[in-house]
Amino acid sequence: MSKKKSTKGTNEEVNQELNQEVNQELKQELEQVFGSSLEKEEAPLTPILIPLINESGLERPKAQVVLENFTAFFNQAAEWERQVKSIIITDAGQKREMKMAREARLALKEIRTNAEKVKKKLKENILIEGRFIDGIYNSVVAVTKPLEEELLEKEKFAEIQEERRKEEIRLLRYNALAPYELDPNYYDLVNMPEEEFNQLLINSKKVYEENVLARQREEEERILKEQEAELQRKRLEEENARLRKEAMEREMAERRKNERINALFQIGFQFNSNTKQYVFENIVVNFEQVVNDSPTDFKRMIAGIEIQVKKIKDAKKQEELRIQQERTRQEREEWLRNEEVRLKKEAEERIMKQAEQQRLEMEEAERKRLADEEFLSMLAPDKDKLKQLISTFNAIKLPDVTTPDAKKIVNEVRILVGRLTNHISESIRKLP
């Protein structure tokens, strides 16, 4: 186990040394194509291009031709890379640096666009070369393949003849068995002995003939059953037709009855469930007439009924018009009476409002007069004020009452007011 591991480690070391040598050679070739730019830190192309070339599988001369077409673009990109790293923007006011960034972006876009044009041109040449190679190859195939097929037929002549013989036997036996409704592909017809095949043919014919007879009997039974089924179908069809006719007649009778009932209802008839009659005023139609009358008789009856109903309705309308006119006359008279009462009431209310207004105005004038007198009395001497108080008490108007108790109270108040005024007069004389 340790010996295998050491051998494996030695192989990996050898492969690493070989890859290093190949990569060193590629690096030298790339330096010849791109110059010293590969050594610059700003354009580290070597780590990118060496794996790309190794993995492409192209021969070195072809890879070098491709690289030479893109050398200028690599160099221009490397130059712009240094300038891009020098543009540092940290503030929205750095308009100059922003303009430089735009110019650099457009320049790099132009480099990329030109590189894409070169790429398309190189791939177009590769496609043309591939089509040419395919054409040469197809020409070689066109010459050699028919010769190969001819020689193969000659080489396999014996086998081909044997195959043809076996196919003829298979077809002959297949066609012999085919009419007897069995699958010939189920048997090995080519290798089957002749005696065995003949016995198979006899048995197949016998089974087929028995099956034909059985199918004939089944067909006869089927036809008989179909005839019986057809007779049964016709009987059912006739019965259904009879039932449909009866149902249609019942439906028509029901529809005719409903139409006649609707005609009576539209005229204004009401159905009396107790007597089974349709009634309008003094006109009566029996339910049996609705159901059993012929269309002509019922139509003639409806025409006569409509004339009678029209007369009745016209008389009703005249009576309703008379009643309406009478009601209108009564309502007009009632309205006039109410209007007269309303106007009289409004006039009385206006008089009362005017009287109330006059009373309020008089009370206001009296209130002002008393206020003026009170103001003047406040300016007068004390004796005059007391005399004015006596006048105020004397001016009190006592109410007129009717009951004895109330009259007693009023007399007592009159006596008290007299005593009060006398007391005030005596007191005034004692004042200095």
The set of residues, in sequence order, having a beta carbon less than 8 Å from that of 426 and lying 6+ positions away, is none
Give the pLDDT of residue 12.
52
CA-CA distance, 284 to 256, in Å (whole number)? 19
Percent of the chain residues past pLDDT 90, beyond the cut:
3
Residue in 340, 280, 289 with CA at minimum distance from that of residue 313: 280
CA-CA distance, 250 to 243, in Å (whole number)? 10
Orientation of helix 382-394 relative to helix 404-430, angle to 10°? 170
45 or 91, which is more confident?
A: 91
H/E stretch holding 333 reads helix 295-379
Q: Output DSSP code: residue 88.
A: -
Q: Tell me the average pLDDT across 85-114.
A: 86
Task: Return the structure tokens found at 324.
Answer: 């309406």
Under the banding of pLDDT at 50, 70 and 90, the label for residue 312 is confident
Q: What is the DSSP string of 144-199?
A: HHHHHHHHHHHHTHHHHHHHHHHHHHHHHHHHHHGGGSS-GGGS-TTTS-HHHHHH
Cα 275-279-282 angle, rounded to 5 deg: 115
49 or 391, which is more confident?
A: 391
Residue in 18, 48, 22 with CA at minimum distance from that of residue 34: 48
CA-CA distance, 272 to 279, in Å (whole number)? 7
CA-CA distance, 43 to 77, in Å (whole number)? 8
Give the pLDDT of residue 287.
83
Summarize pLDDT for 122-163 with one digit per residue, the tens: 888 778 777 767 776 677 777 677 767 766 766 776 777 888
Question: Residue 86 pLDDT more than 70?
Answer: yes
Give the pLDDT of residue 38.
40
Q: Tell me the average pLDDT across 275-302.
A: 84
Percent of the chain residues past pLDDT 70, beyond the cut:
81
Give the pLDDT of residue 150.
66
Summarize pLDDT for 331-390 with one digit per residue, the tens: 888 888 888 888 878 877 877 787 778 778 878 877 877 776 666 566 557 777 788 888
Give the pLDDT of residue 15.
46
CA-CA distance, 17 to 15, in Å (whole number)? 5
Question: Residue 238 pLDDT more than 80?
Answer: yes
Cα 19-23-29 angle, rounded to 5 deg: 150
Under the banding of pLDDT at 50, 70 and 90, the label for residue 1 is very low
Question: Residue 395 pLDDT more than 60?
Answer: yes
Question: Residue 91 pLDDT more than 60?
Answer: yes
C-beta of residue 293 within 8 angstroms of C-beta of residue 259: no
**Of 2-11, 23-32, 305-314, 336-345, the least confident:** 2-11
Give the pLDDT of residue 368.
79
Question: Residue 8 pLDDT more than 60?
Answer: no
C-beta of residue 97 within 8 angstroms of C-beta of residue 128: no
Query: CA-based Rg of the chain, rounded to a whole angstrom?
Result: 69
C-beta of residue 270 within 8 angstroms of C-beta of residue 280: yes
* Residue 410 main-chain phi, psi, to 5 deg: -60, -40
Give the pLDDT of residue 151.
67
Under the banding of pLDDT at 50, 70 and 90, the label for residue 33 is very low
Give the pLDDT of residue 253.
83
